[in-house]
Amino acid sequence: MPEYYPAFHCIASRCRNTCCAGWEIDIDEESLARYECLPGAFGERVRHSIGLEGTPHYILTEEERCPLLNRDNLCELILREGEGALCQICRDHPRFRNYFSGRVEMGLGLVCEEAARVILSWPRPLRLIRLEGDDAEILTEDERYLLALREEWIASIPDEGPRARLLETLIFRHLPDALYDGRLEKRISFIRRAFAGIVGGWTDGSLSGLIERARSFSDRVEYDDEALERWIEGKEPQMV
Ligand code: SF4
């Protein structure tokens, strides 16, 4: 994981762009089984908040908010049952994983304003730390090549504070996906265009301005499969 990863904590009611609104929240089987056994009136309320057609999910309110998100933007499930009661998606967000044959990397998504703040204000270049496992990773030749390429690219970035953190993050997150589809050149080009698009409109030079541009880009592109595909294929709209 990046060195900054443990510094992230959800800021909950202080968040201006809560991730508990505007997105469909699917519920994994294990969590669903737990919710089926939740006792009392609150258990009933949770079960009434869930739609079972297709993939089980929370039924968003008319304002597209999670039904368990209260007016103070706090999650009722956490308040009453603790963080352990969250479903997998809510526990994970805004984290992501890069999978290799003998290695799993954890990262923070720029879509969350607090994660973006942690990443873009980090005072040092991206450095990965090991959470568990030993040094003798079992990697394929392609994976070794890609990881070496990524390391080389990241090491070549002049340390210019938030701009450098942004480019490092885009490389860290998106380059490994070339292992799944072989589109290495297209992903390199996508990362360059995404970076240029985000910093291109960053006119006020403030950290908060860059955080908002990165967050908005991530929301509209990184978390929208169709938009991401358009960008990778070079068919993105002119403006970010
Ligand atoms: S976007 Fe980030 S800080 Fe805001 S509620 Fe979600 S996880 Fe918390």
Q: What is the pLDDT of residues 138-162, one digit of tens each?
A: 899 999 999 999 999 999 999 889 9
* Residue range 186-192: mean pLDDT, rounded: 97
Quickly state the pLDDT bin for 176 (edges 50, 70, 90).
Answer: very high
58 or 22, higher pLDDT: 58
Q: What is the spatial distance between Cα 42 and Cα 25, in angstroms, rounded to a whole number?
A: 19
* Structure confidence at residue 239 (pLDDT): 53
The owner of tokens 């294929």 is: 233
Q: Are 195 and 183 in contact (CB under 8 A)?
A: no
Domain residue spans in the chain?
Answer: 20-92, 109-232
Mutate which of 13, 114, 118, 211 for ligand 1 pocket (most atoms within 8 A of beta carbon) = 114
The C-alpha atoms of residue 65 and residue 75 are separated, in whole angstroms, by 11
Q: With a cut of 90, say whether residue 77 has pLDDT above it.
A: yes
Non-local (6+) Cβ contacts of 62 within 8 A are none
Percentage, residues of the chain above pLDDT 90: 89
Nearest CA to ligand 1 atom 5: 18
Q: Does the pLDDT value for residue 135 go beyond 60?
A: yes
The verdict on pTM exceeding 0.85 is yes
Top mutation candidate among 8, 9, 10, 89 for ligand 1, by most atoms within 8 Å of CB: 10
Handedness of CA 40, 41, 46, 48 (dihedral sign): positive
Q: Which atom of ligand 1 is nearest to the CA of 111?
A: 1
The answer, yes or no, to whether any atom of ligand 1 lies below 6 A from the CB of 18, is: yes
Q: What phi and psi values does residue 64 have, to the nearest 5 degrees?
A: 65, 30
The response to whether residue 10 sits with its C-beta less than 6 Å from ligand 1 reads yes
Question: In the prediction, which pLDDT does 22 show?
Answer: 86
Q: Which tops the pLDDT comparison, 132 or 98?
A: 98
Output the CA 116–ligand 1 centroid distance in Å: 10
- Per the prediction, the chain carries an average pLDDT of 94
Contact 211, 116 (CB under 8 A): yes
Q: Could you tell me which residues are beta bridge partners of residue 26?
A: 57
SS3 label, residue 182: coil
Structure tokens at 66: 């999670």
Q: Is the pLDDT of residue 137 over 60?
A: yes
The model's confidence at residue 236, banded by pLDDT at 50, 70 and 90, is confident
Closest CA to 7 of 95, 103, 99, 87: 95
What residues does 21 pair with on adjacent strands? Answer: 65
